[in-house]
Amino acid sequence: MASLGLTILTVLIVIGLLLFYAGIYLDFIRPRAVQVQLLGLQFTLFGIVLVLAFDESVGYGVTIGLMGLLTGVVGSLQDGEKPEPREADR
């Protein structure tokens, strides 16, 4: 039964991350790079906890941990705020 719950949890995390990235790329939300990195860190730590807590959930923990790691890397590569164009550039 724990496997079904972990599967549902992993699917919900994937859907949540997809919605998060869709919101970023469609410009609905504008999180700072640090906020995206912290979200990635939280998912990575949650994946580590799953690996350590359940013997049979290594695949789920590694999957969630890798999603968190990729989220953190994307957060560190994210551009800062774009400056306003100057009068001379117009």
Let me know if residue 44 belongs to a domain: yes
What is the domain extent for residue 47?
A: 30-78
Helix axes 58-77, 33-53, angle to 10 degrees: 170
- 42, 68 Cβ separation under 8 angstroms: yes
pTM to 2 decimals?
Answer: 0.77
Whether 62 is in a domain gets the answer yes
Q: What is the 3-state secondary structure (H, E, C) of 37-66?
A: HHHHHHHHHHHHHHHHHCHHHHHHHHHHHH
- Number of structural domains (the chain) is 1
List per-residue pLDDT tens for the chain, 90 residues long: 568 888 888 899 999 999 998 998 898 888 888 888 999 999 999 989 988 888 788 888 898 999 999 998 988 887 666 666 777 666
Distance, in Å, from the CA atom of 33 to the CA atom of 74, rounded to the nearest integer, reads 9
